[in-house]
Amino acid sequence: MASDPNATRFTCIQQLQAGMKNINLMFIVLDVGVPRRTTQGNDVRTIRVADHTGSINMSVWNDLGEYVTPGDIYRLRNGSTTVYKGQLALAVGKAGEMLKTGEFLLAYSELPDMSAYNAELDAKFPHRKGSPEDEKEETNGSGGNPTSGNGSSSGNHANSSGQTSSSGTRPPVKRRQVGAPNDMSANRAVDRQRNPAFRV
On whether residue 66 sits in a domain, the answer given is yes
On whether residue 21 sits in a domain, the answer given is yes
On whether residue 58 sits in a domain, the answer given is yes
On whether residue 1 sits in a domain, the answer given is no
Q: In 3-state terms, what secondary structure has residue 66?
A: helix
Query: In one letter, which amino acid is 184?
Result: M
Q: What angle do CA 143, 106, 181 make, to 5 degrees?
A: 80
pLDDT, position 180: 36
The pTM of this model reads 0.62
CA–chain centroid gap for 171, Å, is 19
CATH of the domain at 44: 2.40.50.140
Buried b (16+ CB within 10 A) or exposed e, 101-126: eeeeebebbbbbbbbbbbeebeeebe
On whether residue 84 sits in a domain, the answer given is yes
Q: How many domains does the chain have?
A: 1
Convert the pLDDT of each residue in 148-190 to its tens digit.
Answer: 333 333 333 333 333 333 333 344 445 444 433 333 333 333 3
pLDDT, position 28: 95
On whether residue 41 sits in a domain, the answer given is yes
DSSP 126: -
Is the per-residue pLDDT at 36 higher than 50?
yes
CB 49 within 8 A of CB 100: no
On whether residue 3 sits in a domain, the answer given is no
pLDDT, position 47: 95
pLDDT, position 21: 94
Euclidean distance between the first and the last CA atom of the chain, given in angstroms as a whole number: 33
Domain with 174, as residue range(s), is 13-147+169-182
